[in-house]
A and B are shown apart, each in its own frame.
Chain A
Amino acid sequence: MKKYSGFSLFKNALSYHENWQKLWRSPKPKDYYDVIVVGGGGHGLATAYYLAKVHGITKVAVIEKGYLGGGNTARNTTIIRSNYLWDEAAQLYELSLKLWEGLSQELNYNVMFSQRGVLNLGHNLQDMRDIERRVNANRLNGIDGEVVTPERVKEIAPLINISKDCRYPILGASWQPRGGTARHDAVAWGYARGADALGVDLIQETEVIGIRRKNGSVVGVETTQGFIGSRKVACVTAGNSGVVAAMAGLRLPVESRPLQALVSEPVKPCLDTVVMSNAVHGYISQSDKGDLVIGAGVDGYNGYGQRGSFHVIEHTLQAICELFPAFSRVRMNRQWGGVVDTCPDACPIISKTSVDGLYFNCGWGTGGFKATPGSGYVFADTVANDHPHPLAAAFNVDRFNTGALIDEHGAAGVAH
């Protein structure tokens, strides 16, 4: 892999950019791989990357039915933070955040991870109790965070309305300075380029249509390009997990729901942090291009349509205009929807299954993008060792039978 740098850019400019290397190859699938990763989104590509990089397993294929990073990696609002409530979730997201902090250099691909901080607003006394509880827990878990006053919120986000007279005044917030945003597509491309350089085959426009098993163990996958053998199949197919699980006769406690987002036209810098509110129900940040990037909670019904209902957009913008009355005259440029797999406890499943050699990583709900590096890291470890990584152990699918749920609805409500 040829390294990217200011110098390489300069050198290539001299030759009119005619000599850049391809980011990845387009190989024909081999007959057999040590691991097949189903799903070429951010999580799948990260899984393949860490399998090769950390575990030395390079005979890996990533099979993607469309194009790399074309699912929720392409459709999210790019928020990154680790201030989750429960130890299990917080530690997993914190691992992820730590990986984010070195990811551009690790991958030699600028994923533009921008630590401009995340505010989670509180609008009533119970919000503030929950914020206090979460921040205290975060700090004792080694995660940065503080509880801030409305005045401090106003310093961080000057256009926000902290009037006491509005319907749900801001009473305070949690503030995680290390949180922020990243360039979503770049994450997928960076991992893809890194994995490819380590020998991973990235196979696009190839759909897995069956999971072949023999005596309760996986032996490979049927694809639109034919059968490909492997004793380990790792499924990371957010938005389609139920469909893929059904191929192996499995059911998951997962429902697929539309999650919508929108962006404004680009405007000059006016919001230098990420602002989220559960009670008023919306979140907002500004991209490097100048777009205000806005989202809310998932739509109420199951849906695979990559679109949701308009009234959700209306409610979201009501919330944004409440929080930032000055943005009322800004205009929506584009809206879209993704499909998120939601679990009953708003936490993911990173788990072995009852089928030997079949692993699932799904159910990230609204929290998937920020978890990309950590998810890939612990899932690769789980697959490589056929044993849950310590940080993945709590996220086994069996918790839905024992009752050991990790209820993150409070932290994940509209959370991204």
Chain B
Amino acid sequence: MSQINRLNTGARTDSTSRINFTYNGKQMQGVVGDTLASALLANGVNVVGRSFKYSRPRGIVGHGAEEPNAIMQIGSGAATVPNLKATQVELYEGLESASVNGWPNVNFDLMSITGWFGRMMPPGFYYKTFMYPAKLWMTYEHFIRKAAGLGSAPVQDDPDSYDKLNQHCDVLVVGAGPAGLVAAREAARAGARVIIADEQSEFGGSLLASINSIDGQVATSWVDELVAELESFSNVQTLPRSTAFGYYDHNFLGILQRRTDHLGISADSGSRQRLHRVRAKRVILATGAFERPLVFAQNDIPGVMQASSVSTYINRYGVAPGNRMILFTTNDNAYQTAIDWHRAGRAVVAVVDSRSAPSGEIVAVAQEMGIRVIAGSGVIEAQGGKRVRRALVAPLNGDGTEITGVVEKLACDLIACSGGWSPAIHLSSHTGAKPVWDETIIGFKPGQSVQKERSAGACGGTYSLAGCIAEGASAGAEAAKLAGCGDGTVHFPMPQIKEFSEQPAQALFLVPHTKATSRAPSQFVDMQLDVSASGIELAVREGFKSVEHIKRYTAMGFGTDQGKLGNINGMAILANALGQSIEQTGTTIFRPSYSPTTFGAIAGADVGALFDPERYTAVHRWHQEQGAAFEDVGQWKRPWYFPRGGESMQDAVNRECLAVRNSVGILDASTLGKIDIQGPDAAEFITRMYTNSYLKLAPGKCRYGVMLKEDGMIFDDGVCACIGDNHYLMFTTTGGAAGVLAWLELWQQTEWPDLQVYFTSVTDHWTTATITGPNARKVLAKVCDDIELANDAFQFMDWRDGTVAGVAARVFRISFTGELTYEINVPAHYGRHVWEALIAAGEEFDITPYGTESMHVLRAEKGFIIVGQDTDGSMTPADMNMDWVVGKNKTFSFIGKRSLQRSDSVRKNRKQLVGLKTVNGTQVLPEGAQVVFDPEQKIPMSMQGHVTSSYFSSNLGHSIALAVVKGGHGLLGKTVYCPLADGRTIAAEIVSSVFYDPKGERQNVE
């Protein structure tokens, strides 16, 4: 196929160049400067897609973000992108494109549903059927789903990367058409830091397709000069191919810059797309306007296009998409398209003008060219299959609501339409500004600003070029001044522009047909979703009144074009059906994105390895070298177990646990949260936060404490040591560290600022090596000679300063295993050195590194709880059998104390921590198993609690479990049952939660 529609007059294309691309597998050629849409039109492609619901053939309608039909799958394999609009895809060598619907192909679609079957599918038909028999719905739905969707998501990982820039500026200008360019120039001149972004590949907006002259030169050269001037400013950042997709609170905007898409999928230079997160002092919206289509019967046949798009294809791209054109207009403005078409050497069959007596200057120009103008008439129907063949033209009454005469058939292959213009108010609408209807421009204008923004140019309803430039200049100067730059004076010299004076346009939202709307061939309002005028009227007939209901019932405006073309016509048709004004009817609210925005770009670089930081202890590499398996605990990577040879996890854990009880083990406990607390009121403060008292804790001593939320439920636990006068070190759980610090700060800062106390997180400052087991002292003694280690000199719950392996250390004699334990804290920089020294010193005792799993088993043997595993935010200390940790005589009502007296907190049958011993000791209960008293009862069963921790204990030779059971403390000896998902029921006896060394004598190693 050759470029049969190519002209050599395109202002922004090079007709001598050649770019090869494929469309639905066919080789085609375009030229430098083309979009995929202009190239397809140049190649005479009519049908580019099939519609969503009725699979009707559809052609290219527009030339930008408003395009509803030309939805393409671009590229293939991992780098494929679904749903790009051909009008926004820049052509590059080797581009692969394919239509997204149509089977077997777009030109011959077996799914095509027209005529009668189409009539069976009015809006909301699916709510009314597919209900019986009920079980068939999933089958119906399967076929509905298969028919739906546009392009295909890739199935491989995205090969590209994305990044973000946080930007601050004085003035952000969105849109680089005449208004935006001039605004940016004025703001920049006043010294403001300016960012100007535009969705298109180059700046200039509508001027890129203009044959107007400005100051005696071609509009495009005027643009080039202005852009060059902007680029010369050091305080201006220009962002072409950059879509401002969302306007958020406090003048924050998201701008998506497409950096490599136009170079083709082989491009591999940094990020594919960049998200600019812009916080602007002032924003100028210069986003232009969209031409409004005209709604008439079969207005969706390929070859019905927007008038301004036809002009754009001719003037900017050098493509005349057809031969014989009819222009259907309600305004003067669109006559330019007839003139452009005529100048391109193609035939203008007629201009059909709905106004009874068009009399503008440009009308006369067209007529002088010999163009036939059919006034007071409308195209009431297009006819043709995959391309328009003729238009039915009929005279209309004065307000365009009735046909008043005979229908004339005019042969043509292109119907260019213009129903006037609708300002692009999307971004202003994102801010919450409520759009207001303006009868003079026949459109919604931006409402009262709620953010620091203003609209300039066509998006504010100013359509003349001179007007846009003037408004841009004053907006730029004003924004700069409000941002603290310049005095607001406009310096820009207004250029000389010859514009036709225009006569008023006519409001025409639905062109009448000889048949009633319900019976006429479909008059499409929203092409992408196949919403027609009759569908809107049907919704009203069925009782819907709100514009939001209509939108939801018909799906109008839900497409990937977000109703940029169809919405206003739809609302007007709705207003008419309801017998009220458009103003009363109102508009739906636009939401971000203005146009679709890549997920990957919004995610940015924070995926994969950068999704969330990994935290390592200073000994991490050693653990890796030993082949440790790791567990994620919050952001930390903690050794889970250390398999040797081909050991299974259970084998490794058995070995590690036995080693601890029989000789000595070593655990990296560095991840435990550590908060350094100082100040004259530290003891008082800590005492208010914990359930027990720290007022009399002497330097060198430690105490275990439980922290409650104010609702009385356990929130964290750990040991707190008195380091010196007014100086404490608080240990928290690994996962709770950040939360506890914020919690302490909250109370000190907001409730008790009078208490002098200061907190510092020192978690990462320390490496904590825990050596535990009967030989722990012997190991420590080999590397520490300045601490008296004898049992009564350095007692349980003491801590000492000293030197371990030559490094200053704090050694805590506390225990989470029940064995003789020293937790050796050294500055993290020396962590690995000390660790290795301990390993070497322990060699003769076969010191065994163990991970979190063995730590869990060992503490469970002792009945020690893990907050967050054995508790779940609904457990009090009494529930955990830990009344002993609640200070009864504290003068201050510590945090959570009062809640312990609420009626539910003192309820008898609260869930309470107990031990469970399975009747068959080899069976290990699954953690999370539910406990019932009667396993024979019917479902729903009366559940009494659940297993919180469960392990096989190699030391005890049988399984052990911790559980919370209603009234459990009074049920020792009772047999309970755990019915499991796999059908087994495991019987267990309620026992004490302390399975091992109940008297706590193990740590008294002499």
Q: Do chains A and B touch in the complex (CB under 8 A)?
A: yes
Check B899–A268 contact: CB distance below 8 A: no
Interface string of A238-265 (1 = CB under 8 A from B): 0000000000000000000000000011
- Determine the chain B residues whose CB is within 8 A of the CB of A116 once the complex forms: 138
Name B872's contact: one of A24, A146, A407 (CB within 8 Å): A407
Given contacts A23-B542, A403-B712, contact A136 B134 (CB under 8 A): no
Whether B676 sits at the interface, judged by CB under 8 Å, is no
Check A20–B538 contact: CB distance below 8 A: yes
| Nearest A-chain residue to B80, judged by Cβ | A329
Whether A269 sits at the interface, judged by CB under 8 Å, is yes
Check A331–B598 contact: CB distance below 8 A: yes
Q: How many whole Å from B766's CB to the nearest CB in chain A? A: 24
Contact size class for B? Answer: 35 or more
Given contacts A290-B145, A403-B902, contact A326 B872 (CB under 8 A): no
- Determine the chain B residues whose CB is within 8 A of the CB of A189 once the complex forms: 127
Whether A223 sits at the interface, judged by CB under 8 Å, is no
Check A110–B602 contact: CB distance below 8 A: no
- Determine the chain A residues whose CB is within 8 A of the CB of B928 once the complex forms: 129-136
| Nearest A-chain residue to B157, judged by Cβ | A325
| Nearest A-chain residue to B553, judged by Cβ | A185
For the complex, give the distance between the alpha carbons of A327 and B602 in Å: 12
For the complex, give the distance between the alpha carbons of A365 and B714 in Å: 24
Q: How many whole Å from B1001's CB to the nearest CB in chain A? A: 32
- Determine the chain A residues whose CB is within 8 A of the CB of B926 once the complex forms: 132, 136
Check B152–A129 contact: CB distance below 8 A: no
Check A334–B128 contact: CB distance below 8 A: no
Name which of A45-53, A76-84, A206-214, A311-319 contacts chain B: A311-319
Check B154–A114 contact: CB distance below 8 A: no
Given contacts A20-B538, A66-B546, contact A269 B149 (CB under 8 A): yes
Name A115's contact: one of B119, B138, B555 (CB within 8 Å): B138
| Nearest A-chain residue to B142, judged by Cβ | A269
Whether B764 sits at the interface, judged by CB under 8 Å, is no
- Determine the chain B residues whose CB is within 8 A of the CB of A333 once the complex forms: 560, 562, 593, 596
Given contacts A288-B144, A325-B157, A409-B873, contact A139 B981 (CB under 8 A): yes
Whether A410 sits at the interface, judged by CB under 8 Å, is yes
Q: How many whole Å from B760's CB to the nearest CB in chain A? A: 25
Name which of A8-16, A355-363, A366-374 contacts chain B: A8-16
Which of A123, A129, A183 is packed against the most chain B CB atoms within 10 Å?
A: A129
Check A168–B632 contact: CB distance below 8 A: yes
Whether B631 sits at the interface, judged by CB under 8 Å, is yes
Q: Which of A17-39 contact B (CB under 8 A)?
A: 17-18, 20-26
Interface string of B266-282 (1 = CB under 8 A from A): 00000000000100000
Q: Which of A40-67 contact B (CB under 8 A)?
A: 66-67
Name which of A149-157, A226-234, A302-310 contacts chain B: A302-310
Check A265–B929 contact: CB distance below 8 A: no
Whether B614 sits at the interface, judged by CB under 8 Å, is yes
Check B153–A332 contact: CB distance below 8 A: no
- Determine the chain B residues whose CB is within 8 A of the CB of A8 once the complex forms: 128
Q: How many whole Å from A291's CB to the nearest CB in chain B? A: 9
Given contacts A74-B548, A268-B149, A335-B592, contact A327 B518 (CB under 8 A): no
Whether B633 sits at the interface, judged by CB under 8 Å, is yes
Q: How many whole Å from A329's CB to the nearest CB in chain B? A: 5
Whether A396 sits at the interface, judged by CB under 8 Å, is no
- Determine the chain A residues whose CB is within 8 A of the CB of B828 once the complex forms: none
| Nearest A-chain residue to B119, judged by Cβ | A13
- Determine the chain B residues whose CB is within 8 A of the CB of A199 once the complex forms: none
Q: How many whole Å from A56's CB to the nearest CB in chain B? A: 25
Check B869–A129 contact: CB distance below 8 A: yes
Whether A141 sits at the interface, judged by CB under 8 Å, is yes
Name A112's contact: one of B137, B905, B932 (CB within 8 Å): B137
Check A328–B600 contact: CB distance below 8 A: yes
For the complex, give the distance between the alpha carbons of A220 and B381 in Å: 55
Q: How many whole Å from B674's CB to the nearest CB in chain A? A: 22
Interface string of B135-164 (1 = CB under 8 A from A): 001100100111011111111111010100
For the complex, give the distance between the alpha carbons of A135 and B946 in Å: 12
Whether A215 sits at the interface, judged by CB under 8 Å, is no
Given contacts A132-B928, A267-B152, contact A329 B600 (CB under 8 A): yes
Name A321's contact: one of B120, B552, B591, B607 (CB within 8 Å): B607
- Determine the chain A residues whose CB is within 8 A of the CB of B549 once the complex forms: 67-68
Which of A136, A166, A189 is packed against the most chain B CB atoms within 10 Å?
A: A136
Name B151's contact: one of A21, A267, A317 (CB within 8 Å): A267
Check A266–B602 contact: CB distance below 8 A: no
Whether A402 sits at the interface, judged by CB under 8 Å, is yes
For the complex, give the distance between the alpha carbons of A409 and B874 in Å: 11
Check A9–B929 contact: CB distance below 8 A: no
For the complex, give the distance between the alpha carbons of A125 and B856 in Å: 12
- Determine the chain B residues whose CB is within 8 A of the CB of A264 once the complex forms: 596, 599
Interface string of A117-129 (1 = CB under 8 A from B): 0000001111001
| Nearest A-chain residue to B120, judged by Cβ | A13
For the complex, give the distance between the alpha carbons of A397 and B153 in Å: 47
Q: Which of B208-264 contact A (CB under 8 A)?
A: 246, 248-249, 252, 254
Given contacts A135-B981, A307-B249, A331-B83, contact A105 B131 (CB under 8 A): yes
Check A123–B873 contact: CB distance below 8 A: no
For the complex, give the distance between the alpha carbons of A125 and B101 in Å: 45
For the complex, give the distance between the alpha carbons of A286 and B948 in Å: 36
Check A123–B144 contact: CB distance below 8 A: no
Q: How many whole Å from B161's CB to the nearest CB in chain A? A: 10
Q: Which of A327-381 contact B (CB under 8 A)?
A: 327-336
For the complex, give the distance between the alpha carbons of A310 and B869 in Å: 34
Q: How many whole Å from A156's CB to the nearest CB in chain B? A: 15
For the complex, give the distance between the alpha carbons of A270 and B598 in Å: 17
Q: How many whole Å from A171's CB to the nearest CB in chain B? A: 9
Whether A385 sits at the interface, judged by CB under 8 Å, is no
- Determine the chain B residues whose CB is within 8 A of the CB of A136 once the complex forms: 926, 928-930, 946, 979-981
Check B612–A168 contact: CB distance below 8 A: yes
Whether B109 sits at the interface, judged by CB under 8 Å, is no
Name A334's contact: one of B119, B592, B633, B899 (CB within 8 Å): B592
- Determine the chain A residues whose CB is within 8 A of the CB of B596 once the complex forms: 264-265, 331-333
Given contacts A9-B120, A114-B138, A268-B153, contact A329 B869 (CB under 8 A): no
- Determine the chain B residues whose CB is within 8 A of the CB of A91 once the complex forms: 940
Name A317's contact: one of B116, B592, B603 (CB within 8 Å): B603
Interface string of A82-125 (1 = CB under 8 A from B): 00000100010000000000101100111111111000000111
- Determine the chain A residues whose CB is within 8 A of the CB of B553 once the complex forms: 185
Whether B82 sits at the interface, judged by CB under 8 Å, is yes
Interface string of B608-624 (1 = CB under 8 A from A): 11011010000000000
Whether B696 sits at the interface, judged by CB under 8 Å, is no
Check A404–B904 contact: CB distance below 8 A: yes
Whether A405 sits at the interface, judged by CB under 8 Å, is yes
For the complex, give the distance between the alpha carbons of A216 and B698 in Å: 58
Pairs across A and B, CB under 8 Å, 28 listed: A5-B128, A13-B120, A21-B542, A22-B543, A25-B543, A67-B549, A87-B943, A110-B126, A112-B137, A124-B631, A133-B929, A136-B930, A139-B979, A140-B941, A167-B611, A269-B149, A270-B155, A310-B277, A318-B604, A322-B607, A329-B81, A329-B82, A329-B158, A329-B598, A330-B153, A332-B602, A336-B591, A403-B902
Question: Which B residues are closer than 8 A to A by beta carbons?
Answer: 52, 79-83, 116, 119-120, 122, 125-132, 134, 137-138, 141, 144-146, 148-158, 160, 162, 246, 248-249, 252, 254, 277, 432, 516, 518-519, 534, 538, 541-546, 548-549, 552-553, 555, 558, 560, 562, 591-593, 596-600, 602-604, 606-609, 611-612, 614, 631-633, 711-712, 868-869, 872-874, 899, 902-905, 926-930, 932, 939-941, 943, 946, 948, 979-981
Can you list the 6 inter-chain pairs with the closest CB atoms, starting with the nearest? A132-B928, A290-B149, A133-B928, A328-B600, A22-B543, A328-B158
Q: 16 extra interchain contacts, Cβ-Cβ under 8 A, other than A115-B138, A334-B593? A: A16-B518, A22-B542, A22-B543, A26-B543, A70-B546, A105-B131, A110-B127, A136-B946, A136-B981, A139-B981, A167-B612, A267-B150, A321-B603, A330-B598, A332-B596, A333-B560
